[in-house]
Structure 1
Amino acid sequence: MELQGNIQSTMMTRHQKAEIMIAGEQLRLRLHDSKLIKDRRHHLRTYPNCFVAQELIDWLIAHKEVPDRETAVPLMQHLMDHDIIHHVCDKWPVFKDAQYLYRFRKDDGTFPFNIEVKIFMRGQRLYEHLITSKDSILQLRQEKGVAYDRSFPGYMLIDWLLQNGEIESRRQGLDLCKALLEHGIIQHVSLKHHFFDSGLLYQFCINFRWRRRLSELLHETENEEVECITHQSQEDQAGSPFTMHKTSPPEGNSDFLSVQPTLDGRCGSLTHQQHSSRGYPLTASLTVALAVRCNPTSVLKRRVTCEELLSPGAPYVKRVLTILGDALGWGFVVRGKSPCYVQAVDPASPAAAAGIKVRQFVCRVNGCSVLHLDYRTLSKVVMTGPRVVTLEVMEPLD
């Protein structure tokens, strides 16, 4: 258990580093497009590709990346601490809201390209090439009767690498793909295998194109405890639903509605603050909010046991789905225990985009069995894990 915890901790750290690198690169490109990064002259010397700290903070506030200057300064300090930006003369290790010149290390060639960074950037470049390729190998495929979107067989990726001059031999390609998997760039669709030059299916587990919200970087790497705000409704707490969201909706001005039972007994849809993945909220606390103010009728037609789900020939199909959470979390509601099931899904959420549906039973989270857990324990597993959540679910055939 301790070894598994260490592995998960290492993967979380790598995902956090990846998120910071991607967010920094996205910011760099946006600042170049806005002409905020340019050659500037100071004390009779010209500094290429730099920006003024005060101008950058003005830009962040104007583009609603941060609510105020007090938030912007520690955010940029965070990027400095991770070697994304630096003072042009490396004199000031502290970011200051002043007329100081700073530069992205990628613009002046001082970025620390260690092995981990090189593999990450190689994976990002391959992802961009594959996702934009006309006849991309990233397609909907099946493995053991389960369909996986944007997946590829291991041998086919090595073939593609050879055809595009990325590697010189299959052995070199195998080593590269193993490194990509070990560093959390790709993964086996069900997390059961390492990389093999075979027909086993793999997927990219980082969406490099997904827009990162800058202010989230500060909260995701802080050592904060996850607080669960519970709502006491009935004694049957095992059936109380919860929403997997990281931010509490502001009172009196919330786009997130409670779950309400409809005429056919299902839960009504949840509005996942549809601007969250596009306009981005201004805050992102690590608090699980129970937005539900009622205990709605279960969407299940009847009680289902774990033994029934696992029995041979049971009328259920297994699916493995990967959810990339946004600023508010994942956007689905779970209830029950042993097994837990999906009670409701916000149609505008990452969960819906990944294929999460009501009445699905949650069997595994990030490769760990959760079939016999209650919703409280399951919530802790999800909330304390990485932003990218891989769920193994079982859904009725009808």
Structure 2
Amino acid sequence: MEKIRGSMRRKATARQSKAEVMIAGEQLRLRLHDSKLIKDRRYHLRTYPNCFVAHELTDWLISHKEAPDRATAVRLVQHLMEHDIVHHVCDKHSVFKDAKLLYRFRKDDGTFPFNTEVKVFIRGQRLYEQLILGRSSILQVREELGVAYQRSFPGCQMIDWLLQNGEAESRRQGLELCRALLEHGIIQHVSQKHHFFDSALLYQFCINFRRRRRLAELLNDSDGDGVGGTGGAAGAEHHTQDHLMLRRRVTCQELLSPGAPFIKKVLTVVGDAVGWGFVVRGSRPCYVQAVDPGGPAAAAGVKVRQFVYQVNGQCVLQMDYRTLTRLVMTSPLTIVLEVMEPLD
């Protein structure tokens, strides 16, 4: 049974990574439309609708601080191509080239592959938005085995909601939908111990669809480092963006050594309906890579480049980002962070 659960978790993690690419790609597409970078263009006496020029996109990514240099920008778009988000208008080039070539988002020309995985993802995103915006949302702070979980819901109450809102025609159909959402990494049991059941067991959405994604997160994910609700990327010393953020690699031994140039701070973060509002990266130790200026973490004093030392009294210096992310996501609404901040 434990092997089956482990396999399910690994598949869900991989699907969550795919979901993050899809969300980031869609957010980029909308921004490029707003910037008028995507438009109808003529090439060799033919008009191609809703296109962008490769080198113009590279310029845009650098000017909007989504990439530190052209090589990183090219890697970002190549990652989108490999996930069928972007393609060359004639599909002649499978590699993104920083040149006067025309590319297009598959969602703009109707070639996006709407397979089962994508359909479940889109359904999950739509349900998430409806639940978040609902006046009497079933996503609430609830307890299971003495532990409080934010934005959680009992399985039976979710099925009730699906029936009441016309999202399912029967309890069996609602159960099948929720099991598909769990299998594709959209929702999970709060402690990841159970599949989905029409019962009082508590579940949560694994993905915060509303969080603004930084494209650099995609490269961290493609290098096997992943992205989570609070973010994360192991082996951060290998990434240019992480070099810029941390300035240099710091070890756990250095953080704990006497006289080290770091100061400890204890911060209490009270989550809201969306989350805690910060992104962690790295591995042994993890550090704060980004903070939502209007989120709970910023209000509590969480800042970038702070190393996470403890969460609710538990030392997390030796954790990788996946373990730390799970710990934070399954914590009560209020978390107490002890961080170590550079003195410079």
Kept in 2, the 8 Å contact 1:205–1:388? The answer is: no
Q: Identify if the C-alpha distance between structure 1 residues 387 and 49 changes in structure 2 by more than 3 Å, giving closer, same or farther.
A: farther
* Cα displacement (A) at 1:2: 6.5
5+ unaligned residues in a row in structure 2: which ranges? 226-232, 266-274, 289-299, 337-344
1:230-245 matches, within 5 Å, as none
Kept in 2, the 8 Å contact 1:247–1:289? The answer is: no
Separation (CA, whole Å) in 2 of partners of 1:126 and 1:393 = 23
* Cα displacement (A) at 1:361: 3.6
Secondary structure (helix, strand or coil) at the match of 2:327 reads: strand
Query: What is aligned with 1:272?
Result: none
Query: What is aligned with 2:220?
Result: 219
Worse-superposed segment, 137-146 or 323-332 = 323-332
Q: Identify if the C-alpha distance between structure 1 residues 7 and 104 changes in structure 2 by more than 3 Å, giving closer, same or farther.
A: same
TM-score by length of 1: 0.63
Q: 1:360 aligns with which of 310, 313, 320?
A: 313
Secondary structure (helix, strand or coil) at the match of 1:96 reads: coil
* Cα displacement (A) at 1:111: 1.0
Separation (CA, whole Å) in 2 of partners of 1:76 and 1:288 = 30
Q: Does 1:86 align with 2:87?
A: yes
Secondary structure (helix, strand or coil) at the match of 2:326 reads: strand
Separation (CA, whole Å) in 2 of partners of 1:81 and 1:387 = 29
Separation (CA, whole Å) in 2 of partners of 1:93 and 1:139 = 45
Residue type matched to 1:208 in 2? F
Q: Identify if the C-alpha distance between structure 1 residues 2 and 182 changes in structure 2 by more than 3 Å, giving closer, same or farther.
A: closer
Residue type matched to 2:176 in 1? D
Kept in 2, the 8 Å contact 1:11–1:183? The answer is: yes
Query: What is aligned with 2:281?
Result: 328
Kept in 2, the 8 Å contact 1:39–1:46? The answer is: yes
Separation (CA, whole Å) in 2 of partners of 1:283 and 1:349 = 12
* Cα displacement (A) at 1:326: 2.1
Query: What is aligned with 2:72?
Result: 71
Q: Does 1:108 align with 2:109?
A: yes
TM-score by length of 2: 0.72
Residue type matched to 1:67 in 2? P
Identity of paired residues, percent? 59
Worse-superposed segment, 129-138 or 98-107 = 129-138
Q: Does 1:390 align with 2:323?
A: no
Separation (CA, whole Å) in 1 of partners of 2:66 and 2:331 = 35
5+ unaligned residues in a row in structure 1: which ranges? 225-243, 251-275, 300-321, 333-345, 363-374
Q: 1:348 aligns with which of 292, 295, 302?
A: 302
Residue type matched to 2:313 in 1? Q
Number of aligned positions between the proteins: 293
* Cα displacement (A) at 1:44: 2.5
* Cα displacement (A) at 1:357: 6.3
Kept in 1, the 8 Å contact 2:149–2:331? The answer is: no
* Cα displacement (A) at 1:45: 2.1
* Cα displacement (A) at 1:42: 2.1
Kept in 2, the 8 Å contact 1:66–1:282? The answer is: no
Q: Show CA shifts across 1:87-112 (max 9, x none).
A: 11111111111111111111111111
Secondary structure (helix, strand or coil) at the match of 1:326 reads: strand
Structure ranking higher in helix proportion: 2
Query: What is aligned with 1:239?
Result: none
Q: Show CA shifts across 1:284-322 (max 9, x none).
A: 99x7744626358999xxxxxxxxxxxxxxxxxxxxxx9
Query: What is aligned with 1:292?
Result: 255
Separation (CA, whole Å) in 2 of partners of 1:7 and 1:347 = 36
Q: Identify if the C-alpha distance between structure 1 residues 54 and 283 changes in structure 2 by more than 3 Å, giving closer, same or farther.
A: farther
1:174-213 matches, within 5 Å, as 174-213=175-214
Q: Identify if the C-alpha distance between structure 1 residues 194 and 288 changes in structure 2 by more than 3 Å, giving closer, same or farther.
A: farther
Query: What is aligned with 2:339?
Result: none
Q: Does 1:58 align with 2:59?
A: yes
Kept in 1, the 8 Å contact 2:148–2:331? The answer is: no
Query: What is aligned with 2:122?
Result: 121
1:369-384 matches, within 5 Å, as 378-379=318-319, 382-383=320-321
Separation (CA, whole Å) in 2 of partners of 1:192 and 1:61 = 43
* RMSD value, Cα: 3.8
Q: Tell which structure's C-alpha radius of gyration is larger.
A: 1
